[in-house]
Amino acid sequence: MSSIDLARKYPPSKPCSCDICLSYCKRPGWWTVEEAARAIEAGYAGRMMLEMSPEYTFGVLAPAFKGCEGNLALQFFTPMGCTFLKDNLCELYGTGIQPLECRYCHHARQGKGEKCHADIEKDWFTKEGQKLVIHWCTSTGFFERQGLIMACR
């Protein structure tokens, strides 16, 4: 499913700063691959983190937890919430770079976010998604910071 199809399937919700909607910001929502590429182009690569699938078969670039910017997502940082949440407002709101999952999730849609998340996961489990992950890892120095050397550059 393309990013355009995903955006149609999961339309934006109304802005809200209620306790339920703010609780969603504890675990940053995911961009589609295309959205993450635009976020990198806009200069936000340093505020992303790499989340790995439970099986370590693919990665997802997501807004970072505060304190985890430019690194692998670590459970230790989850209480800090999203790096883009400031004064209970999303810095990305209205920029055209807010993640699809963040735009969709809302207190009126409780329980529906899991399907959105699963569909975005499929978008990342593609050749294009993994090329973007490798690009991010290379361009931000992630591989070097982790002591990893790319065999195929």
Assigned domain for 152 exists? no
Assigned domain for 150 exists? no
What pLDDT, in 10s, does the model give residues 36-85? 999 999 999 999 999 999 999 999 999 999 999 999 999 999 999 999 99
At a CB cut-off of 8 Å and minimum separation 6, what does 5 contact?
none
pLDDT tops 80 at residue 150: no
Residue 145 CA from chain centroid, whole number? 21
Q: What is the pTM of this model?
A: 0.91
Assigned domain for 84 exists? yes
pLDDT confidence band for 26 (50 / 70 / 90): confident
Q: Identify whether the C-beta of residue 122 lies closer than 8 Å to the C-beta of residue 1.
A: yes
Domain that holds residue 100: 3-145
User: What six digits make up the tokens of 59?
Assistant: 């990665």
The pLDDT, as a whole number, for residue 146 is 84
Measured distance CA(130)–CA(56) in Å, rounded: 12
Measured distance CA(89)–CA(45) in Å, rounded: 20
Q: Identify whether the C-beta of residue 71 lies closer than 8 Å to the C-beta of residue 46.
A: no
Number of domains in the chain: 1
User: What six digits make up the tokens of 91?
Assistant: 């810095």
